[in-house]
Copies of this chain bind each other. A is one copy, B any other.
Amino acid sequence: MISPFQIQHSDSTAADAEPRTKDIVLTGDRPTGALHLGHLAGSLRSRVALQHEHSQTILVADLQALTDNAGQPRHVSAHVLEVVADYLAVGIDPEQTTIALQSGLPALSELTMLYLNLVTVARLERNPTVKTEIELRGFARDIPAGFLCYPVSQAADITGFRATLVPVGDDQLPMIEQSNEIVRRINRLAGKAVLPEARPLLSTVSRLPGADGRKASKSLRNVISLGASSEEIQSFVSAMYTDPAHKRATDPGTVEGNVVFAYLDAFDPRADEVTALKTQYRRGGLGDVTLKRRLVDVLADVIAPIRERRTQFARDEAYLQQVLDEGTARAAGVTCSVLDDVREAFALTRRGQR
């Protein structure tokens, strides 16, 4: 058995968590592929920090992944343990963080079914996140019903753990609003506060772009996995969009929208040096080649230890499965107790812990 250990990176997000003694934190990922550097900068490092201060659950959201992958379910199941390996490799400690599989928690489906009665179709269609993602996926009128309903399913996830703090990007704020609306309806039905409202924890790190400057996305092939080899890092950085007007090293260049600087901001531990480099780049006299060489070294330092642990974990599938099974069992206790409270609000009999 491999014991997970701590990633060295400092994290700025945790400081903004307005720690109210101890929060219940919920996050998750759709298991549709290996996690990448964007996940590390945007959420994984923050989770590693949060686990020490709070009670944290990470949901491997395989059911949610099926809402737009129903035609290729094996694409989802094949990536479940890989995502668990990514978690452990970046320093998520299964003793401190509950890692649970969504499809292993029937109470979440039952909660969703009950909540669907409290939300109108019009309300779901107005949800800005759903709107954007419908466009992104080109669903038009052929939206799977499960996809339209996924904010309700996400409310089941959040409330199913009585989460009080949910780390999100600002595009995900409507999801927390929807969840809190349901919480208020349930508490009104129950005549008492059986569920807590959740606060968003907005990431202080802006979303990392893909190498080409577009949105980072596995399907656009502009991201780099946490298990990337030196050669992959090299070619990922080589392909990075910088400033097309910055043709010679002596030309003045633009920092904004320059992908290399975005990655340096996210991962270079020497922030003062990065600031100096930006000044030099703007003024002229700093070539892209030199800059990219620095980024290759920085990313190699970040990825190398993760890649090594990832390889170790990948060799021990039984351990990954055990981590997930134990986390899911622990999570089942919590979600069943929440379901009991919600059932009572709907005048259904409590079932007791199954």
Contacts and interface: CB of A to CB of B under 8 A. Distances in A.
Given A66-B117, A109-B106, A143-B121, A189 B149 contact: no
Interface string A279-306: 0000000000000000000000000000
Interface size class of A (residues with CB under 8 A): 35 or more
A348 B116 contact: no
Interface stretch (A8-16, A68-76, A160-168): A68-76
A122 interface: yes
Contact of A347 (B73, B141, B189): B73
A112 B63 CA distance: 12
Given A106-B106, A113-B113, A113-B146, A347 B118 contact: no
A109 to B, nearest CB: 4
A interface majority secondary structure: helix
A120 B106 contact: no
A119 interface: yes
Contacts of A145: 116-117, 119-121, 124, 148-149, 152
A149 B76 contact: no
Contacts of A103: 343, 348
A271 B124 CA distance: 54
A67 B117 CA distance: 5
A223 to B, nearest CB: 24
A117 B77 contact: no
A5 interface: no
**Lowest 3 CB-CB distances: which A-B pairs, in order?**
A116-B146, A70-B117, A117-B146
